[in-house]
Amino acid sequence: MFSDREVKVSDTIETILKETRVFPPPEGFSKAAWQGDSASYQKLWSSSQEDPIGFWQTAAENIHWFQKWQKVLQWDEPFSKWFVGARTNAAYNCLDRHLEKHGDKTALLFEGEDGKVDTWTYRRLHSEVCRLSNVIEKDLKLKAGDTATIYLPLMPEAIVAMLACARVGVVHSVIFAGFAAHAIRDRVLDAESKVIFTTDIGYRRGQILELKQTVDAAVTETPCVKSVVVLRRRDTTKLGPKDLDWKDLLSRQTPEHTAQPFDAEQPLFYLYTSGTTGKPKGIVHTTGGYLVGTATTAKWVFDLKPDDIYWCTADIGWITGHSYVVYGLLANAATCLIYEGNLMYPDAGRIWEIIDKHKATILYTAPTAIRSFMRAGDAVPAKYSLKSLRLLGTVGEPINPEAWMWYHTQIGKGRCPIVDTWWQTETGAILISALPGVTSLKPGSATRPFPGIKADIVDEKGNSCGPNEGGYLVIRHPWPSMLRTIHKDPNRFKETYWNKFKGLYFTGDGAHKDQDGYFWIKGRVDDVINVSGHRLGTMEIESALVSHPSVAEAAVVGRPDELKGQSIVAFVTPRDGSDLKDLQKKLKDHVVQEIGSIARPDEIKFTKTLPKTRSGKIMRRLLKDLAAGKEITGDTTTLENPGLVEFIQ
Ligand code: WTA
């Protein structure tokens, strides 16, 4: 049942500028919060702006180091090293150091789509990670610095695999288990992974996903992969020549393993994300700074307390899953709920049912999901108590004030603060967010930078913008969890993030700051689109389209979408003589085949030619306007053919 409520994704800029509602932190919340006293927090924040290095140095005291640093930051613009000379181990920080006090505490509370629950204590998680670490070292013979790919759905073993790699210094590259074989192949080859950890099947919307089949198809083209470790969930699954049985390998290893200290700058993982060219980029995160950034932000932004049951609905295939399901949370000895399945299956109340069942206290999800719940009608969450919730969070895309208000009233019942957290795969950790005990909230604003983060809005020349003046979001000072480079492509790293403004990290987002210093993020200003909180490169989809024999040329743009934030519209010039019958469907399927279903175009329009500038560049601005049904405005004088784009019926 859909309510007739109008769900708008992005209230117009005018509405946002007129947004005047302010929600101060509830008194009871502030009293108990880690950061709950506004005056002392303001002091801490101001001094962190003066001395970010000092702030992060203090924050680093909450991490276990086998050896302390000689220097906090070494900055050879744009390359940074944090906690130089220090030695640490990410898995030790997430597991071993908690065992004495929290060995019997639940680390992971796993619920399958079928409703079955499996509880993993810190001790159990530690034992499994140790066994797999032994497998990696003794059976698979990987060494620190080697790479392994993880292609697993959101299940405890995926986290076991990540932590086991981290424990032995193997760099993990997690690939979202919705990506298709070609996308896996490209990422595995770029990372030069020697091993893939996977499972035979996954479960989603009552269907079985044949994950191993996808990996099998990818592996035929990845000679670097020596073994595939398969977690068999179905007895009948057959293993091929490169395959090894996960359970069998683990059963032959002991649950004892000593974590070795690694350099703070040891790469912890590569995570592939979309950029403005066809090729996804392997974002490199290292160990020490990443742990400091994620652990500190997780504790303060989510105000984590020992009894919290924290639920982040993101998959481990994305940065949110890395930082705020795994590392930041386990480093704080938190209890994390994880769920393998669709949040609205078998009905729209599933998410609320899970919250009541496990008495979740913190919920962290994406605006797109909130808009879908909102669309299902207020009657759905009204059937549940939701009493256990004390804090709500959002991430991944701008949240429109209307969805914010719905989340606040219908889910938070007016009592739970909302942390709207702005960050990126590249930033590793949250950079702009409210701290729930001290920040007054404004619906639609990510509020203020985290302590130690010097965020700003600048104009085209790199000068700071005034209040309410739109510009580019930049970061003025390095921070510990920042990406170190793009794997194998330091030039692209420089060009993408550091060349637009001298000495400033360019985020790719447009934003403005209001008179109170609150940040309002508008979205990407480059050729990256954000579909349901998933980041996609338009060029990546274009490359997939032109690899089809019937396509001569393609241009992909985002169109504002009330539910998904943006939807994907492709303008395609078919090759002469192509049969147009069913071609739209065929091309959509082709993109799914090449990248995965998250990249399926919502609409394909056939055109005789694509509008280009005289220098041969596709006029995306014009196509964006066309896709959005807007009148063509602005300067089209540089257009080669200033006439209309001619559609083929
Ligand atoms: C967008 C996800 C507005 C932004 C953690 C950014 C947001 C991109 C917010 C990064 C937010 C993320 N408000 N926009 N709270 N959070 N974004 O790498 O455009 O998947 O650049 O990281 O998502 O997406 P990514």
- List pLDDT tens digits, range 505-532: 999 999 999 999 999 999 999 889 999 9
421 lines ligand 1 (CB under 6 A): yes
Helix extents (H) in 510-562: 538-546
274 lines ligand 1 (CB under 6 A): no
Q: Is residue 229 scored above 90 in pLDDT?
A: yes
Q: Which atom of ligand 1 is nearest to the CA of 433?
A: 15
Do 352 and 386 contact (CB within 8 A), yes or no?
Answer: yes
536 lines ligand 1 (CB under 6 A): no
Distance CA 230, CA 237 (A): 10
Instruction: Give nearest CA residue, ligand 1 atom 10.
Output: 424
Distance CA 618, CA 438 (A): 47
397 lines ligand 1 (CB under 6 A): yes
Instruction: Give nearest CA residue, ligand 1 atom 5.
Output: 424
425 lines ligand 1 (CB under 6 A): yes
446 lines ligand 1 (CB under 6 A): yes
367 lines ligand 1 (CB under 6 A): no
Task: Give residue 13's pLDDT.
Answer: 59
Distance CA 272, CA 162 (A): 15
509 lines ligand 1 (CB under 6 A): yes
Distance, CA 353 to ligand 1 centroid (Å)?
28
Distance, CA 395 to ligand 1 centroid (Å)?
7
pLDDT band at 6 (very low <50, low <70, confident <90, very high): very low
Nearest CA among 239, 169, 166, 171 for reference residue 199: 239
Task: Give residue 17's pLDDT.
Answer: 67
Task: Give residue 16's pLDDT.
Answer: 66
Q: Which of 527, 535, 598 to mutate to test the pocket of ligand 1 (most atoms within 8 A of CB)?
A: 535
381 lines ligand 1 (CB under 6 A): no
**Which is it for strands 262-263 and 87-88: parallel, antiparallel or unpaired?**
antiparallel
Distance, CA 422 to ligand 1 centroid (Å)?
6
475 lines ligand 1 (CB under 6 A): no
What's at 293, amino acid-wise? G
Task: Give residue 614's pLDDT.
Answer: 77
Instruction: Give nearest CA residue, ligand 1 atom 15.
Output: 422
At 48-62, the pLDDT tens digits run 999 999 999 999 999
**Backbone torsions φ then ψ of 528, nearest 5 degrees:** -100, 140
Instruction: Give nearest CA residue, ligand 1 atom 23.
Output: 396
523 lines ligand 1 (CB under 6 A): yes
Instruction: Give nearest CA residue, ligand 1 atom 3.
Output: 398
Q: Is residue 632 scored above 90 in pLDDT?
A: no
Do 311 and 362 contact (CB within 8 A), yes or no?
Answer: yes
Give me the percent of the chain exceeding a pLDDT of 90: 88
- Average pLDDT over every residue of 159-175: 98
Q: State pTM to two decimals.
A: 0.94
At 480-497, the pLDDT tens digits run 999 999 999 999 999 999
283 lines ligand 1 (CB under 6 A): no
Helix extents (H) in 389-470: 401-406
- Average pLDDT over every residue of 623-646: 67
**Which is it for strands 195-199 and 227-231: parallel, antiparallel or unpaired?**
parallel
**Residues whose CB falls within 8 Å of the CB of residue 141, separated by 6 or more in sequence, listed in order:** none
Task: Give residue 634's pLDDT.
Answer: 56
Distance CA 560, CA 558 (A): 7
Q: Which of 9, 269, 325, 395 to mutate to test the pocket of ligand 1 (most atoms within 8 A of CB)?
A: 395
Measure Cα distances from 190 to 163, 185, 223, 276, 337 in Å. 22, 9, 12, 17, 32
Full 3-state SS string of 28-50: HHHHHCCCCCHHHHHHHHHHHHH
Task: Give residue 99's pLDDT.
Answer: 98
Mean pLDDT of the chain: 94
Q: Which atom of ligand 1 is nearest to the CA of 522?
A: 3
Distance, CA 636 to ligand 1 centroid (Å)?
31
Q: Enter the tokens of residue 478.
A: 């390095």
Q: Which atom of ligand 1 is nearest to the CA of 521?
A: 3
At 287-309, the pLDDT tens digits run 999 999 999 999 999 999 999 99
320 lines ligand 1 (CB under 6 A): yes
481 lines ligand 1 (CB under 6 A): no
352 lines ligand 1 (CB under 6 A): no
Q: Which atom of ligand 1 is nearest to the CA of 424?
A: 22
Residue for token pair 């970061």: 475
pLDDT band at 618 (very low <50, low <70, confident <90, very high): confident
Distance, CA 264 to ligand 1 centroid (Å)?
26
Task: Give residue 5's pLDDT.
Answer: 37
Question: At what angle are helices 538-546 and 583-594 packed, to 10 degrees?
Answer: 120
Task: Give residue 615's pLDDT.
Answer: 77
Q: Is residue 215 scored above 60 in pLDDT?
A: yes
At 435-481, the pLDDT tens digits run 999 999 999 999 999 999 999 999 999 999 999 999 999 999 999 99
395 lines ligand 1 (CB under 6 A): yes
Q: Which of 424, 433, 439, 507 to mutate to test the pocket of ligand 1 (most atoms within 8 A of CB)?
A: 424
What is the number of alpha carbons within 13 Å of residue 314 lying toward its C-beta?
Answer: 23
Distance CA 427, CA 450 (A): 12
Nearest CA among 42, 459, 96, 415 for reference residue 255: 96
273 lines ligand 1 (CB under 6 A): yes
- Average pLDDT over every residue of 606-620: 84
Burial 108-142 (b: 16+ CB within 10 A, else e): bbbbebeeeeeebbbbbbbbbbbbbbbbbbebbeb
Task: Give residue 647's pLDDT.
Answer: 72
Do 362 and 389 contact (CB within 8 A), yes or no?
Answer: yes
424 lines ligand 1 (CB under 6 A): yes
Distance CA 150, CA 193 (A): 10
| Angle value at C-alpha 174, between 219 and 213, nearest 5 degrees | 35
228 lines ligand 1 (CB under 6 A): no
Task: Give residue 12's pLDDT.
Answer: 57
Task: Give residue 616's pLDDT.
Answer: 78
Q: Is residue 378 scored above 50 in pLDDT?
A: yes
The conformation of residue 382, written as its DSSP 8-state character, comes to: H
Distance, CA 545 to ligand 1 centroid (Å)?
26
Task: Give residue 562's pLDDT.
Answer: 92
Distance, CA 507 to ligand 1 centroid (Å)?
10
pLDDT band at 3 (very low <50, low <70, confident <90, very high): very low
Instruction: Give nearest CA residue, ligand 1 atom 20.
Output: 535
Q: Which atom of ligand 1 is nearest to the CA of 528?
A: 19
What's at 259, amino acid-wise? A
Task: Give residue 84's pLDDT.
Answer: 98
Q: Which of 397, 482, 525 to mutate to test the pocket of ligand 1 (most atoms within 8 A of CB)?
A: 397
- Average pLDDT over every residue of 561-568: 94
